Structure 1
Amino acid sequence: MLINTKLPLDSDRLQKQDQTLCLAGMTWIDYEKFDSEEYPGYRVSYFDGVITLVSPSKNHERIAQTIAILVSAYCRKFSLLYFPLGSTRLENKPLAGKEPDVSFAFNTDKDIPDLAIEVIFSSGSLDDLNKYQAIGVNEVWFWRNNKITFYQLQKEYRKISTSKLLPNLSSKTLENFVNQSLTKSPLAIEADFLQQI
């Protein structure tokens, strides 16, 4: 956790919210020094001289994992080859680096995923699209305030209502199931999801 819980802060609230630290005036070389082995549990990104470290909350992780489970279920149902890349560090040196919450390549394994998914619980922003554009990720999904928005990279990202990668899936449908993740087991959510798509 980035903030010491011995501070006079509500530790329960800290457990439910992401902890974020932004370091300005940084270089790509500084970014490369942040090793996942030294900073386990943190997601690190770099863009425009700013390094951002995020320690995801329990709720953040639950939502991200539910989305990953539903994407995997979709692929199994429609026999779409998929290669989960998780939070693998993505880079376009020295412009941008990002560790998504969840990511997938489809049809063939790739170094840069076709899909990156971000949960904006109490950290992150749509500015992450700039990082993903510099890296060249085809489609990015954001969950924020109980809404899921899909973006497809053309010359820049454009909002779309139905995924181009998973064509039977709309953002509205996915949103309805993902928003159950804080109160229901992914097993029950997945069963209902597979019946609807």
Structure 2
Amino acid sequence: MTTPAPPLVEGISTLHGVDWEQFKTIEAALAHLGKGVKLSYFNGVLEIMSPIGPRHEDVKSTLGLLLEAYMREKGIRFYVCGGFTLESPKTASGTPDESYAIGTRKKIPDIVIEVIITSGRLHKTEIYRPKQVPEVWFWKKGQITLFHLEEQGYVQRERSVFFPDLELLMLQRYLDLADQYDAVSEFVEAIRRGDQ
């Protein structure tokens, strides 16, 4: 009889000096854990985050529902791309918590979302730069920030180029509501009233 493995404690482990082949070996070895472990790799640095807990999933889901409600109310065509791995072989690999293509389906999403519960050392924007992801959104410590890709790299902006009328503080206000259903319903009402 085998002894069950102890439960993973939420946290981040950072490994330095990991080449691409070593990263791919570690990734394959941890694949059986599914979404319980998230890997991010950039230029020899590997971060292993485990596990993804209920707070993380709640924020990710609610933020996604709010953004989707906004796009539907505004008649903005969008495609949910999900959390698939974006890789630039030998350099970078990252899996956003959610992602969206705006206007048409695309191989590279226009917006990726990262929910940060436990901070690591990697600059997550750099993971997505080789793939030229236009915007990276973060939720960290109860606050939404977004970075838009410009010629010199990612620059923090107050508003999305895809949603120039959407105030992040307004979005955050509804994300902070305790009940997800009420948050989305009240957000839709506010959009219809023109409260943004």
| TM surpasses 0.5 | yes
**Cα offsets for 1:163-196 (capped at 9, x unmatched):** 111222121111111122xx21x21100111122
Cα shift at 1:37: 4.4
Residue 62 (str. 1) matches residue 58 (str. 2): yes
Aligned partners of 2:24, 2:107: CA distance in 1, in Å? 18
Q: Is the 8 A contact 1:97 1:135 kept in 2?
A: no
Alignment RMSD: 2.1
Task: Report the Cα distance in structure 1 between the residues aligned to 2:107 and 2:24, rounded to whole angstroms.
Answer: 18
Q: In structure 1, what is the equivalent of residue 182 of structure 2?
A: 188
Q: Partners in 2 of 1:66 and 1:142 — Cα distance?
A: 14
- Higher alpha-carbon deviation: 33-42 or 100-109: 33-42
Per the normalisation by structure 1, the TM-score is 0.84
Give yes or no for contact 1:47–1:95 (8 Å, CA) kept in 2. Answer: yes
Corresponding residue for residue 22 of structure 2: 30
Residue 26 of structure 1 aligns with an amino acid whose one-letter code is V
2:156 is the alignment partner of 1:159: yes
Query: 1:125: Cα distance to partner?
Result: 5.9
**Code of the aligned partner of 2:44:** G
Q: Find the aligned partners of 2:120 and 2:58 in 1 and give their Cα distance.
A: 16
Residue number in structure 1 paired with 2:173: 176
> Highest CA radius of gyration, 1 or 2?
2
**Which residue of structure 2 aligns with residue 44 of structure 1?**
39
Stretches of structure 1 that go unaligned for 5 or more consecutive residues are 6-10
**d(CA) in 2 for partners of 1:65, 1:91:** 24
Distance in 2 (CA, whole Å) between partners of 1:153 and 1:49 is 23
Look up the SS of the partner of 2:164 in the other structure.
coil
Aligned length: 182
Measure, in 2, the Cα distance between the counterparts of 1:66 and 1:126: 25
2:61 counterpart letter in structure 1: Q
